[in-house]
Structure 1
């Protein structure tokens, strides 16, 4: 019995001497394309990281120029510095009235957490501290949204951040 007459599960075996022309064209075309691709992208030192880095540096330079323009256009006046000092004094007064019972006179904590640490549980930025004072936090920190004006809240924030 020769190989030409064999059948497996209803499929006749037909040995081919050559692969189909389409497969050979695709295979050799892929090889011809791969050689220049590897030559350019793999061996030339090209990197998408370098392009990203140049774009990032250009963006940072633009932002630095914009920041310099804004700083030159609106220098901080002495009144603003005095005002921020006054805010801290006002904040100290409010802290003594409302916060000493839980956070202690020096802000080292007691019932409430220590406010002299480098990091707070809910963040140590002005917006985070403002949110804590205005909205309160779970576990005992009451919100003072209805009790304090915006200026008093900012004074408390400045004082807490100065601890």
Structure 2
């Protein structure tokens, strides 16, 4: 075994040894230097990507995929224009479903027959926010909070929204008893 080498100087009675570093420590030191050079070369100057870049790329791919799915869904669903809603009015199952939704969600404000209680009369030809089928659908969908009309798009399914819109269109002109006076503008 090699004897410890003592340096020729001392400080406060403490002598300093001049021993070699352990071999495992030297190899680890050189290993980290080699690793650092490879890391910098690969990630900063080579093909490697950092996690933030990976996440950004994956997010971009996910957004593109979501946009493609949304476009495919939009293409596969019928356009909800006035003609669409007027066609739905002629389907008894849609009107029955709309009547169920209306009874469960709308009666408190609009009355059992749509005659109007707190909310406006839905059976006359006067409308506050437009009487076209798409206008009616948009009011049901988005609501009119300043008038007390809730937005139902987050609480009803798409089919329920179409059904209740079709039902409201179908009850126009039914003239129920005790109907509320007309409000809004006449729509023919």
TM-score with structure 1 length normalisation? 0.48
The structure with higher relative contact order (CA 8 Å, sep 6+) is 2
- Richer in strand (by share): 2
Structure 2 length as normaliser, TM-score? Answer: 0.42
